[in-house]
Amino acid sequence: MDEYALIMRHEDGMKVASPEQLQIWMKQTMDWIGGIAAQNKFVSGTGLPFENARVVDSRKMVTNGPFGDIKETIGGLIVVRAASVEEAVEFAKGCPVLQGDGNTVEVRKIAKDDGIH
């Protein structure tokens, strides 16, 4: 069993949602994660709030970010256990973030600490 990170990307993190909409998203996300955990496939995860986000560039310049020029932002990530990348992709398909146009979930295998990867 390998571990995969599911990285949720938002087209536009600044888009303001209504409190009701936020509540629905929250519930959907919690149910989505709960469903993965109920299959004993959940490893870890965290939301990444946009509030107080900063970007440090190569000149050590700090900007309030990651907005502005960058269109896509990372909204959160979870790590799941899966037998194959296909299984991890099936989990990703259930992610409520995908209800937003242009949003994506990136599926990446976690490098094993086995000296090969």
Partner 1 sequence: MPRTDSQLLPHLFRTEFGKITSVLAKHFHLRHIEVAEDIASETFLEAAETWPYHGVPENPTAWLYAVAKNKARNALKRISLFEEKIKSELNAPTDISAWDEIDLSADGIQDSQLRMLFALSHPALPPESQVALCLRILCGFGIDEIASAFLTNKETINKRLVRAREKLRTEKLTLDLPDESALVSRLDNVLTTLYLLFSEGYYSETRSALVDEDLCEEAIRLAKILVEVKSTNLPQVHALLALMYFQSSRLKARIGSDGDVVLYHHQDESLWNREYISLGGYHLNLASTGNRLTKYHLEASIAFWHTVREDTKEKWESILQLYNRLLQLEYSPIAALNRTYALSKANGLEEAIAEAQKLQLTTNRYYHSLLGELHGTIDTRKALAYFSEALRLSKSPAEKTSIEKKIDALQRRPAAIKR
Per CB under 8 A, residues contacting partner 1 are: 27, 30-31, 33-35, 37-40, 42, 45
Residue closer to partner 1, measured from CB, 31 or 106: 31
DSSP label at residue 115? S
Sheet architecture: strand order including 73-82: 42-47, 73-82, 2-10, 104-109
Shortest separation between residue 36's beta carbon and partner 1, angstroms: 9
What count of other Cβ atoms lies within 10 Å of the Cβ of residue 45?
A: 17
Residue closer to partner 1, measured from CB, 2 or 11: 2
Shortest separation between residue 77's beta carbon and partner 1, angstroms: 14
Residue closer to partner 1, measured from CB, 7 or 36: 36
